[in-house]
Amino acid sequence: MIMEGNQNPIFNTMKASLKRPSWAILLLIFAVLTLFTLQITNKSVFPIQQSFSLAARDSSTGFRGPKSCSGFFDEVPPRKVVKSIEEFGGVGDGKTSNTAAFRAAMAYMDSFKDRGGAQLNVPKGRWLTGNFNLTSNFTLFLDEGAVILGSQDPKEWPIIEPLPSYGRGRERQGGRHISLIHGNTIRNVVITGQNGTIDGQGNMWWDLWWNRTLEHTRGHLVELISSHNILISSLTFRNSPFWTIHPVYCSNVLVKNMTILAPLTAPNTDGVDPDSSVNVCIEDCYIESGDDLVAIKSGWDQYGINMARPSSNIIVRRVSGTTPTCSGIGIGSEMSGGISNVLVEDLHIRDSAAGVQIKTDKGRGGYIANVTIKNIKMERVKIPLRVSRGANDHPDKGWDPKALPKVKGIVITNVVSLDTRKAPLLEGIEGSPVEDICMKNISIFGLSPSMKWKCEFVSGSSYGVFPNPCDQLQRNGSTSWCS
């Protein structure tokens, strides 16, 4: 486990330098000069490569080389048996259904789970298929030019039980469509390759959603339930009908070096949604979609409260991308099982509705605690930092209006936002204010002088924040935990 606390030397160094009163002013002058000498166009002033390489040295530990989540996934031995989908009758012409071939392949692979494991190779070609389920000690490997295509027949995405922490499908009552690639109680699984593609062909599903004829909640591209030690890497996932990668009730999941794409108008096509899961790391990914790039969740209202399965030890690092309607990183709004120990760092978010957003509502219950968000670059993001309430979105009439979420201990540092449209908006819930927000070294540019931070039912501290934050955050130095 590689986790980074707030007590590391970089914070102590900052603490020392923050004692000098001129620090904030110097920083501001420096930042303003740097930014205004740059010709600000709609091109990125923070090329992705650069923001990745900046993160490559961990100055706090002196460790050279990129900080990495390798500890989240235990390496697996080479598999005893390696087969190609063609050996199971697969035809990669983009038209022939390979559902039977994939299911036969998986049944065969399953027979090796306790005999050294197996690997299924998908060669170059276009492999149309309905849902199939993964097994343990298994690797799915997509060659360069291999494309798995999601079937356009909803019956090939059969209906399964709703998740107990949601009580129903997220979009419709009752069951929900299974994901294209599904795993339940599996261990030691790798989904990787040479930038092959898994394309959900979600257009049909988005149409059903838009024209309100969707009968059951849409399926994910990849969903893993109650699974352990999973690696998803080096592939392109496209056009998921719904949230793209959904690990729920899982432990030790690593999503690395992935490209995740969906049209910017495709509804609810979140990139990665760790849900009631522990030890999840999302690293070195490019994501563009019609919803949150990453959204951390833990169940919905009374169902999530009853199940009480938190998301904890979550790292999101070196992720970049765009979502014109949603946020770069979202926490919630389904957070009823609790969310804690989250580290988000080295994000680059451009052309998006929100940068970092914490979403709650009455009825959610649960908590969000100990969240550190640092080194965030944003360009043309409408609202860089937001705490919002009132998603007003409940599973059924059984939700408890007295179940108020508790949000406490949110540290946000080293943020630069250019061409910003709106000032931060932080809104806690009456009767359950957001506590212990700590904002340091935050520069938000592009706002007209009339744009002010808006805060309600929040409290905390701030240092070196431009423009001046709301009064609720101006307790300079009175709380030692933030400085």
Using CB under 6 A, pick the residue from 122, 149, 160, 381 that binds ligand NAG.
160
Q: Is 39 exposed, middle or buried (0-12, 13-18, 19+ CB in 10 A)?
A: exposed
Query: Which C-beta is closer to ligand NAG: that of 103 or that of 406?
Result: 103
Q: Is 223 exposed, middle or buried (0-12, 13-18, 19+ CB in 10 A)?
A: buried
Query: Which C-beta is closer to ligand NAG: that of 165 or that of 370?
Result: 370
Backbone φ, ψ for residue 433 (5° rounding): -65, 155
Q: How far is the CB of 130 from ligand NAG (least distance, A)?
A: 9
Using CB under 6 A as the binding rule, whether residue 229 contacts ligand NAG is answered as no
- Among residues 291, 292, 361, 419, which one is catalytic? 291
Using CB under 6 A as the binding rule, whether residue 188 contacts ligand NAG is answered as yes
Report which residue type is found at 189.
Answer: V
Interface region with ligand NAG, contact rule CB under 6 A, candidates 178-186, 325-333, 384-392, 425-433: 178-186
Interface region with ligand NAG, contact rule CB under 6 A, candidates 90-98, 201-209, 295-303, 400-408: 201-209
Interface region with ligand NAG, contact rule CB under 6 A, candidates 119-127, 266-274, 368-376, 395-403: 368-376
Q: How far is the CB of 105 from ligand NAG (least distance, A)?
A: 11
If one counts every other C-beta atom within 10 angstroms of the C-beta of residue 38, the result is 10
Using CB under 6 A, pick the residue from 60, 70, 96, 184 that binds ligand NAG.
184
Query: Does 58 qualify as catalytic in the annotation?
Result: no
Using CB under 6 A as the binding rule, whether residue 257 contacts ligand NAG is answered as yes
Using CB under 6 A as the binding rule, whether residue 441 contacts ligand NAG is answered as yes
CA 258/CA 237 separation, integer angstroms:
8
Query: Which C-beta is closer to ligand NAG: that of 227 or that of 414?
Result: 414
Query: Which C-beta is closer to ligand NAG: that of 305 or that of 343?
Result: 343
Rg of the chain on CA atoms, in Å: 23
DSSP bridge pairs for 70: none
Query: Which C-beta is closer to ligand NAG: that of 65 or that of 401?
Result: 65
Minimal CA–CA distance to 231: which of 199, 178, 193?
193
Query: Which C-beta is closer to ligand NAG: that of 268 or that of 370?
Result: 370
Query: Which C-beta is closer to ligand NAG: that of 73 or that of 399?
Result: 73
Minimal CA–CA distance to 121: which of 57, 202, 191?
191
The site for ligand NAG, by CB under 6 A, has a size of: 42
What six digits make up the tokens of 428? 């806690």
Q: How far is the CB of 191 from ligand NAG (least distance, A)?
A: 12
In sequence order, the 6+-apart residues with CB closer than 8 A to the CB of 280 are 72, 247, 250, 252, 253, 254, 255, 274, 311, 313, 314, 315
Using CB under 6 A, pick the residue from 111, 173, 194, 265 that binds ligand NAG.
194
Using CB under 6 A as the binding rule, whether residue 49 contacts ligand NAG is answered as no
Half-sphere exposure of 116 (CA within 13 A, CB side): 5
Using CB under 6 A as the binding rule, whether residue 372 contacts ligand NAG is answered as yes
Using CB under 6 A as the binding rule, whether residue 297 contacts ligand NAG is answered as no
DSSP bridge pairs for 387: 358, 426
For the four alpha carbons of 325, 338, 430 and 409, in that order, the dihedral sign comes to negative
Query: Which C-beta is closer to ligand NAG: that of 10 or that of 391?
Result: 10
CA 455/CA 147 separation, integer angstroms:
47
Using CB under 6 A as the binding rule, whether residue 221 contacts ligand NAG is answered as no
Using CB under 6 A, pick the residue from 8, 50, 476, 479 that binds ligand NAG.
476
Q: How far is the CB of 398 from ligand NAG (least distance, A)?
A: 26
Query: Which C-beta is closer to ligand NAG: that of 105 or that of 403?
Result: 105
Using CB under 6 A as the binding rule, whether residue 211 contacts ligand NAG is answered as yes
If one counts every other C-beta atom within 10 angstroms of the C-beta of residue 105, the result is 25
CA 98/CA 278 separation, integer angstroms:
34
CA 426/CA 474 separation, integer angstroms:
14
Using CB under 6 A as the binding rule, whether residue 84 contacts ligand NAG is answered as no
Looking only at residues 120 through 159 of this chain, which bind ligand NAG when binding is defined by CB under 6 A?
A: 133, 136-137
Interface region with ligand NAG, contact rule CB under 6 A, candidates 247-255, 339-347, 427-435, 445-453: 339-347
Using CB under 6 A as the binding rule, whether residue 87 contacts ligand NAG is answered as no
What six digits make up the tokens of 118? 């197996």
Q: Taking the C-alpha atoms of 176, 336, 328 and 206 in order, what is their torsion angle to the nearest 10 degrees? A: 20
Minimal CA–CA distance to 374: which of 355, 394, 390, 352?
355
Whether the Cβ atoms of residue 419 and residue 445 lie closer than 8 Å to each other: yes
Minimal CA–CA distance to 319: which of 293, 351, 291?
293
For the four alpha carbons of 264, 266, 48 and 149, in that order, the dihedral sign comes to negative
Q: Which residues bind ligand NAG (CB under 6 A)?
A: 3-5, 14, 24, 42, 103, 113-114, 133, 136-137, 160, 178, 182, 184, 187-188, 194-195, 204, 207-208, 211, 213, 234, 236, 257, 259, 341-343, 351, 370, 372, 375, 414, 416, 441, 474-476
What amino acid positions are annotated as catalytic residues?
291
